[in-house]
Amino acid sequence: MPIYEYLCQGCQRKVSLLILNPSTYGRPKCPSCGSAELERIMSRFRTLRSEEKRMEKLADPSSFTGLDENDPSSVAKWAKKMGKELGDEAGEGFDEMVDQTMEEEMNKSNDGESLE
């Protein structure tokens, strides 16, 4: 799952970021205050049983139906669905963050179009 969770040291908010390519993403920034002081939240889901069940459901192959990893709009649709499942846990502005990430991804893939 390409959704990473951080605790922002700047505004103390919990933020969820969609990161498809960690190697090319660069330094994550808080969508709320722009701070780069983000502390990665690890294994949060393992501590909560109900969350665990929910994530199991999300990890079910059927929830990936129609997902084409090479198609940014398809990934965006899927990620928003994930965001809805996570509800408040995904944080404010999650959809906007997905849109922005996908826009960047689409710009990147446009650059590589001549390779195909």
Binding site for Zn ion (CB under 5 A): 8, 10-11, 30, 32-33, 35
CB of 13 to Zn ion, least distance (A): 5
* Sign of CA pseudo-dihedral 103, 104, 110, 115: negative
Would you say 70 and 76 are in contact if contact means Cβ atoms under 8 Å apart? Answer: no
CB of 7 to Zn ion, least distance (A): 9
Tell which residue, 71, 93, 69, has the closest CA to residue 80: 93
The count of residues in the chain is 116
Look at residue 8 and give its three-state secondary structure: strand
Question: Of 93 and 109, which has the nearer Cβ to Zn ion?
Answer: 93
Question: Of 2 and 10, which has the nearer Cβ to Zn ion?
Answer: 10
CB of 89 to Zn ion, least distance (A): 17
Question: Of 36 and 48, which has the nearer Cβ to Zn ion?
Answer: 36
